[in-house]
Amino acid sequence: MGELFWNKVAGVVLATVLGVLAITELGHLLVPSHAADELTAENTAYPVDWAALESGASSEAVVEEGPTDYGLVLASADIGAGERAARRCAACHSFEQGGANGVGPNLWGVVGADIANHAGFSYSGALQGLEGTWTYAALDAFIENPAGYASGTAMSYRGLGNDETRLELIAYLRSLSDNPMPLPAPLAEMESEDDVDDAMSTMSDDAEDMGETAQDMPEGDGQ
């Protein structure tokens, strides 16, 4: 193949490149492009919720989670499933009454016990600096994220993120006691009692107001 052939090949390639560039430029002229901040109702070819964009509203609904109803969920939690979940902790903890401490303390009777107060175990400064007892809420938060609950803890476990499994584990830990810590009243029941108390208080106030009004009224003629 001679020089003439390669000249033809180069000419075809050059013509192709020039053609692509010409078509691209023609497309830009016919359909102008815009940056995101230049988009308007006039230069978009599909419907857009401009009010939502301008207000910064999200298309996803925000779900607000209320407090965990420990009285309700722990009463119905599967303790057997919690015991199975506890097996992943057996490398560091023992669970039987009077069991030896390991990398972590023995967990018999931990629910309701003082934090960092198990006999014979050397706790990290992070846990020693915490006050109070292992309530259901405290255990829930600690098991979910130990380092987040007690920054600097020596516990290497990263946490149990599954809510159902975590609560089953807490229900199992609660059972490790001769006198398990009482469950709190379900939140729905507490709200109902609060409503009754509020209603009784309102009725009492109304009765007092009625009595004061009756005393202020002038005496009648006996009819």
Q: pTM for the full model?
A: 0.58
Question: Encoding tokens for residue 221?
Answer: 């003629």
* Cα 190 from Cα 196, distance rounded (Å): 10
Query: What is the pLDDT at residue 79?
Result: 97
Query: What is the pLDDT at residue 193?
Result: 53
- Residues in Cβ contact with 157 at an 8 Å cutoff, skipping those fewer than 6 apart: 89, 92, 146
* Cβ 174 vs Cβ 180: under 8 Å: yes
Query: What is the pLDDT at residue 159?
Result: 94
Query: What is the pLDDT at residue 19?
Result: 74
Place of tokens 């030896």: 100
Query: What is the pLDDT at residue 197?
Result: 57
- Residues in Cβ contact with 92 at an 8 Å cutoff, skipping those fewer than 6 apart: 102, 103, 104, 157
Query: What is the pLDDT at residue 209?
Result: 54
Query: What is the pLDDT at residue 194?
Result: 55
**pLDDT of the chain along its 223 residues, tens only?**
566 766 676 677 777 867 777 777 766 666 655 555 555 555 555 555 555 555 554 445 544 567 899 999 999 999 999 999 999 999 999 999 999 999 999 999 999 999 999 999 999 999 999 999 999 999 999 999 999 999 999 998 999 999 999 999 999 999 999 999 999 999 876 555 555 456 556 545 654 554 454 344 444 434 4
H helices of 74-135, in order, are 79-86, 125-128
